[in-house]
Structure 1
Amino acid sequence: MFVTAERRDSAVSSLKELSLRAVSRHSTALRPEAVLDLPAVLIKDLLPHLTVCQLDEVQPALNQRGISTHSGWIGFLQDMHSPKHAIDFHTEDEAKHEVMRILFPQVFYGFRNNYVCRNLTHLNTSSFLWAAAKCIEYFSLITSSHRTLQSLTAEQRPLLKLLEMRIKSVGVSDSIDLSKKKTQTALYILHRLLDHGVATKLVLHHVTCPIMLAWLLHGRGSQYVNLELKKLMHSSCMLQTTSAHTDGASSCPDLEIRSSDDQDDQVSPCKRSKLDSVFMTEVESGKANFTVDPQALCQTFAPCEVPSAGVCSWGQIHSLEIRRCGSDSLQVLNSALPTFFCLRSLTLHSISTFRESDVLCLAAALKQLSDTSRSFITDLNISVLPTTKLMEKLLDASPSLTSLHVEIQTVVWESHNMLHHPWTAESHIPVLPLQKLEVKVAELQTDLCFLTCVLKRCPHLTSLHLAGLRLPTGSSQSQLLTTLSESNHCLRILILECMKLSDCLPEILDLLKACRLEELRFSDCRLLESCSDKEESLLQLVAALKKVPSLHTLSLAQNRLAKNVCVLAELFLGSSPSSVQRLDISSNFIQPAEMLDFATRLRTHRPPHRLILDLRKNPADRDPDTWNTALQRLRPFSVLLSEGWKSTGTMVDHISNM
Structure 2
Amino acid sequence: MGESADQINQKETCLTLREICFQAVREHYAALGIQAVIDLPTPLIKDLLLHLTVCQLDELQPALNKRGISTHAGWIGILQEMRGLNHAINFHTEEEAKQEVMRILFTLIFYGYSSQFVQKNITNLNTPSFLLTAAKCIKYFLLDTTVESLTADRRHLLKLLEKGIRTVCVSKCMDLSDRTTDLFVLHRLLDHGVARKVVMDVQCSLMLSWILLHRGSQFVSPELRCLMQKKMATCNLQAYSASADRASCSLCIRTAASEDQDDHIPCKRLKLDCVEEKESGKANRSVDLQVLCQSFAPSEGPSAGACPLGRIESLEIRKCRSDSFAVLNNALPTCFYLRSLTLHSIATFRDTDVLGLAKALKQLTESSRCSLTELSISILPYTGLVEFLLDANPNLTSLHVEIQTAMVGSRLLLHHPGAEDPDMPELPLEKLSVKVAELQQTDLHFIRTVLRHCPHLTSLHVAGMRLPTGSSQNLLLSTLSGSNRLLTSLHLEDVKLSDCLPEILNLLRDCKLEELRLNDCRLLERWSDKQESLHQLVTALKMLPSLHTLSLAQNRIAKHVCVLADLFSGPSPSPLKRLNISSNFILPAELLEFSKRLRRHPPPQRLTLDLRKNPGDRDPDTWSSALQKLQPFCVSLVEEWSSSNTMADYISNM
TM-score calculated relative to the size of structure 1: 0.88
Tell me which of 379, 382, 387 is aligned to 1:384.
379
| One-letter amino acid matched to 1:166 | G
**Do structure 1's residue 184 and structure 2's residue 192 form an aligned pair?**
no
**Do structure 1's residue 652 and structure 2's residue 654 form an aligned pair?**
no
Report the Cα distance in structure 2 between the residues aligned to 1:419 and 1:230, rounded to whole angstroms: 35
Structure-2 residue corresponding to 1:171: 169
Find the residue that maps to 2:435 and give its secondary structure. strand
**Do structure 1's residue 488 and structure 2's residue 487 form an aligned pair?**
no
Report the Cα distance in structure 1 between the residues aligned to 2:249 and 2:296, rounded to whole angstroms: 13
- Please identify, of 557-566 and 457-466, the stretch whose mean Cα deviation from structure 2 is larger: 557-566
Q: CA deviation at 1:174?
A: 1.9
How big is each residue's C-alpha offset from its partner over 1:81-115, in whole Å with a ceiling of 9 and x where there is no partner? 21353221232212211111111100000000110
Matches within 5 A, 1:309-328: 309-328=304-323
Cα distance change, pair 384–29 in 1 and its aligned pair in 2 (3 A): same
Structure-2 residue corresponding to 1:596: 592
Alpha-carbon contact 1:591-1:620 (below 8 Å) kept? yes
Cα distance change, pair 252–153 in 1 and its aligned pair in 2 (3 A): closer
| One-letter amino acid matched to 2:150 | L
Report the Cα distance in structure 1 between the residues aligned to 2:594 and 2:625, rounded to whole angstroms: 12
Report the Cα distance in structure 2 between the residues aligned to 1:453 and 1:423, rounded to whole angstroms: 12
Report the Cα distance in structure 2 between the residues aligned to 1:578 and 1:415, rounded to whole angstroms: 50
Structure-2 residue corresponding to 1:107: 109
Structure-1 residue corresponding to 2:61: 59
How big is each residue's C-alpha offset from its partner over 1:389-440, in whole Å with a ceiling of 9 and x where there is no partner? 0001000001000000000001336899999886676652200000000000
Structure-2 residue corresponding to 1:205: 201
How big is each residue's C-alpha offset from its partner over 1:442-477, in whole Å with a ceiling of 9 and x where there is no partner? 236361101100001100000000001121211111
Cα distance change, pair 329–597 in 1 and its aligned pair in 2 (3 A): same
Report the Cα distance in structure 2 between the residues aligned to 1:197 and 1:534, rounded to whole angstroms: 58
Find the residue that maps to 1:304 and give its secondary structure. coil
| One-letter amino acid matched to 2:136 | K
Report the Cα distance in structure 2 between the residues aligned to 1:40 and 1:363, rounded to whole angstroms: 58
Alpha-carbon contact 2:76-2:97 (below 8 Å) kept? yes
Cα distance change, pair 159–594 in 1 and its aligned pair in 2 (3 A): same
Report the Cα distance in structure 1 between the residues aligned to 2:415 and 2:221, rounded to whole angstroms: 40
Structure-1 residue corresponding to 2:141: 139
Find the residue that maps to 2:583 and give its secondary structure. coil
Find the residue that maps to 2:198 and give its secondary structure. strand
Structure-2 residue corresponding to 1:516: 512
| One-letter amino acid matched to 2:358 | A
Find the residue that maps to 1:652 and give its secondary structure. helix
Tell me which of 114, 125, 128 is aligned to 1:126.
128
**Do structure 1's residue 442 and structure 2's residue 440 form an aligned pair?**
no
Structure-1 residue corresponding to 2:603: 607
**Do structure 1's residue 158 and structure 2's residue 160 form an aligned pair?**
no
Matches within 5 A, 1:185-334: 185-206=181-202, 208-235=203-230, 236-240=234-238, 244-245=243-244, 253-254=252-253, 293-334=288-329
Report the Cα distance in structure 2 between the residues aligned to 1:216 and 1:230, rounded to whole angstroms: 14
Structure-1 residue corresponding to 2:358: 363
Find the residue that maps to 1:574 and give its secondary structure. coil
Find the residue that maps to 1:195 and give its secondary structure. helix
Tell me which of 448, 452, 456 is aligned to 2:452.
456
Alpha-carbon contact 1:237-1:253 (below 8 Å) kept? yes
Q: CA deviation at 1:8?
A: 4.5
Q: CA deviation at 1:53?
A: 1.1
Report the Cα distance in structure 1 between the residues aligned to 2:454 and 2:507, rounded to whole angstroms: 16
Alpha-carbon contact 1:234-1:254 (below 8 Å) kept? yes
Report the Cα distance in structure 1 between the residues aligned to 2:624 and 2:614, rounded to whole angstroms: 13
Structure-2 residue corresponding to 1:97: 99
Q: CA deviation at 1:7?
A: 4.3
Report the Cα distance in structure 1 between the residues aligned to 2:409 and 2:570, rounded to whole angstroms: 52
| One-letter amino acid matched to 2:130 | F
How big is each residue's C-alpha offset from its partner over 1:472-528, in whole Å with a ceiling of 9 and x where there is no partner? 211111111000000001111000011111111111111111111111111111111
Report the Cα distance in structure 1 between the residues aligned to 2:536 and 2:17, rounded to whole angstroms: 57
Q: CA deviation at 1:315?
A: 0.4
How big is each residue's C-alpha offset from its partner over 1:542-568, in whole Å with a ceiling of 9 and x where there is no partner? 111111111111111111111111111
Structure-2 residue corresponding to 1:351: 346
Q: CA deviation at 1:589?
A: 1.1
Structure-1 residue corresponding to 2:262: none
Q: CA deviation at 1:345?
A: 0.3
Q: CA deviation at 1:133?
A: 0.9
Find the residue that maps to 1:83 and give its secondary structure. coil
Alpha-carbon contact 2:247-2:291 (below 8 Å) kept? no
Find the residue that maps to 1:428 and give its secondary structure. coil
Structure-2 residue corresponding to 1:543: 539
Alpha-carbon contact 2:168-2:199 (below 8 Å) kept? yes
Matches within 5 A, 1:24-39: 24-39=26-41
- Please identify, of 551-560 and 413-422, the stretch whose mean Cα deviation from structure 2 is larger: 413-422
| One-letter amino acid matched to 1:299 | Q
Alpha-carbon contact 1:389-1:417 (below 8 Å) kept? no
Find the residue that maps to 1:550 and give its secondary structure. coil
Tell me which of 333, 336, 339 is aligned to 1:341.
336
Find the residue that maps to 1:430 and give its secondary structure. coil
Find the residue that maps to 2:253 and give its secondary structure. helix
Matches within 5 A, 1:10-25: 10-25=12-27
Structure-2 residue corresponding to 1:280: none
- Long gaps (5+) in structure 1: 257-290
Cα distance change, pair 55–173 in 1 and its aligned pair in 2 (3 A): same
- Please identify, of 4-13 and 577-586, the stretch whose mean Cα deviation from structure 2 is larger: 4-13
Find the residue that maps to 2:554 and give its secondary structure. coil
| One-letter amino acid matched to 2:566 | E
Report the Cα distance in structure 2 between the residues aligned to 1:501 and 1:406, rounded to whole angstroms: 22
Report the Cα distance in structure 2 between the residues aligned to 1:583 and 1:47, rounded to whole angstroms: 27
Matches within 5 A, 1:549-628: 549-628=545-624
| One-letter amino acid matched to 1:254 | I
Tell me which of 48, 70, 73 is aligned to 2:72.
70
- Long gaps (5+) in structure 2: 256-285
Structure-2 residue corresponding to 1:533: 529
Q: Percent identity over the alignment?
A: 61
Q: CA deviation at 1:228?
A: 2.6
Find the residue that maps to 1:437 and give its secondary structure. strand
Cα distance change, pair 172–481 in 1 and its aligned pair in 2 (3 A): same
Q: CA deviation at 1:11?
A: 3.9
Cα distance change, pair 506–42 in 1 and its aligned pair in 2 (3 A): closer
Alpha-carbon contact 2:362-2:392 (below 8 Å) kept? yes
Report the Cα distance in structure 1 between the residues aligned to 2:94 and 2:388, rounded to whole angstroms: 44
Cα distance change, pair 20–416 in 1 and its aligned pair in 2 (3 A): closer
Alpha-carbon contact 1:249-1:303 (below 8 Å) kept? no
Find the residue that maps to 1:494 and give its secondary structure. strand
Cα RMSD between the aligned structures? 2.6
How big is each residue's C-alpha offset from its partner over 1:292-312, in whole Å with a ceiling of 9 and x where there is no partner? 642321121112212222410
- Please identify, of 463-472 and 10-19, the stretch whose mean Cα deviation from structure 2 is larger: 10-19
Report the Cα distance in structure 1 between the residues aligned to 2:87 and 2:459, rounded to whole angstroms: 29
Report the Cα distance in structure 1 between the residues aligned to 2:500 and 2:613, rounded to whole angstroms: 26
Tell me which of 626, 630, 633 is aligned to 1:630.
626
Structure-2 residue corresponding to 1:279: none
